[in-house]
Amino acid sequence: MHTTAITDLFGIRLPIVAGGLMWLSDARYVAAASRAGIIGFITAASFPDPARLRDEIRRCRDLCEGGPFGVNVSMLPKLVPGERTQAVFELIAEEGVRFVETSGRSPEAYLPMLKAAGIKVLHKVPAVRHAVKAQSLGVDAVAIVGAECGGHPGMDMVGSIVNAAWARGQLHIPYLIGGGIGCGSQVTAALAMGAAGVVVGTRFTVAEEIWAHDDYKRRLVQAQPTDTTLLMHTVRNTVRALRNGTTDEVQAIEAAKPDVTIQELLPLVAGRIGRQAYETGDTSRGVLSAGHALAFTDRIEPLAVIVDRLATEMQAAARRIAPVPLAA
């Protein structure tokens, strides 16, 4: 069903990737994606203890029952002393993981090792120009997330519908489109424009298998795309997040002090604060990544049900355009 270069690469039923969600993409969620016929990625940064990451990978493998899964490795923009990226990749290879999703800085330094281990690399970028660069380095596929995405949309802020068509003329490797994707008709549209599939994040955060508090999920069900906002542009680390007290405070600081540093903002934007919101359900504080796909987070339900709804919507969209005659 819907065979593309991405379904062939990952061995999945639908051309849909559940992108790595910091703190949230654990074995239970990723295995649910695998069993639903798509692929998900455990976020390695959520398990800084190597032993815990190894255990999570093994648990995921058991839960997947032979289905595909991967590990997300998000790298800082620049290599810093003490960073353990190399060790994480070595652990992934030792565990026989077949797929990784990389993001942040270029994965160039690690590609020889990953390729030698037979690992396929999906590199996530916020702009077509970065996708072209990643292609030249030899990654197997790229995911391009547009301005609508939750988390980090980059600095270019080009929308997903433009990225989907624009990339078609510049890439010869499979590419995914992310950012605001939450309805099956968008998947069909992305395929029609040349993409091999899509990346979904926000739409899946209301899945039952996501461990976050139900009050957090209920807030996403109630939210609209207009309930997101952009911040941290002044420190060149733009984030789209759910509007709350923290985003208001950060934006006020940025407006008053355009030369503010990331170190000055950390007491407000540190990831541990966001994790507390997932644990408690209190969404009033923390930078809680959320994109325009809040338009589609209409209920809390099993991930497999969400995926089946996307598949049905894909088919309906394809039927709507199939009978349309082309002008002579």
Of the candidate ranges 16-20, 55-59, 151-155, 285-289, the one whose mean pLDDT is the lowest: 151-155
Any domain includes 157: yes
Q: 178 and 232 share a domain?
A: no
Q: 113 and 164 share a domain?
A: yes
Predicted pLDDT of residue 1: 61
Predicted pLDDT of residue 326: 64
Any domain includes 292: no
- Domain of 259 in residue numbering reads as 224-280
Number of independent structural domains in the chain: 2
Q: 45 and 152 share a domain?
A: yes
Q: 256 and 130 share a domain?
A: no
CATH number of the domain within which 71 lies: 3.20.20.70
**Per-residue pLDDT tens for 41-79?**
999 999 989 999 999 999 999 999 999 999 999 987 766
Q: 199 and 133 share a domain?
A: yes
Q: 34 and 156 share a domain?
A: yes
**Per-residue pLDDT tens for 204-253?**
999 999 999 999 999 999 999 999 999 999 998 899 999 999 999 999 99
**Per-residue pLDDT tens for 257-295?**
999 999 999 999 988 898 999 999 999 999 999 999 999
Residue 172 has phi, psi (to 5 degrees) of -115, -5
Instruction: Please state, as a whole number, how many other Cβ atoms lie within 10 Å of the Cβ of residue 117.
Output: 16
Cα–Cα dist 309/298, whole Å: 12
Q: 156 and 262 share a domain?
A: no
Is pLDDT of 328 > 60?
no
Any domain includes 180: yes
Q: What is the CA radius of gyration of the chain?
A: 19
Alpha helix stretches (DSSP H) within the chain: 5-10, 27-35, 50-64, 85-94, 111-116, 128-137, 160-166, 184-192, 214-222, 245-256, 262-269, 271-280, 303-321
Q: 185 and 121 share a domain?
A: yes
Q: 80 and 188 share a domain?
A: yes
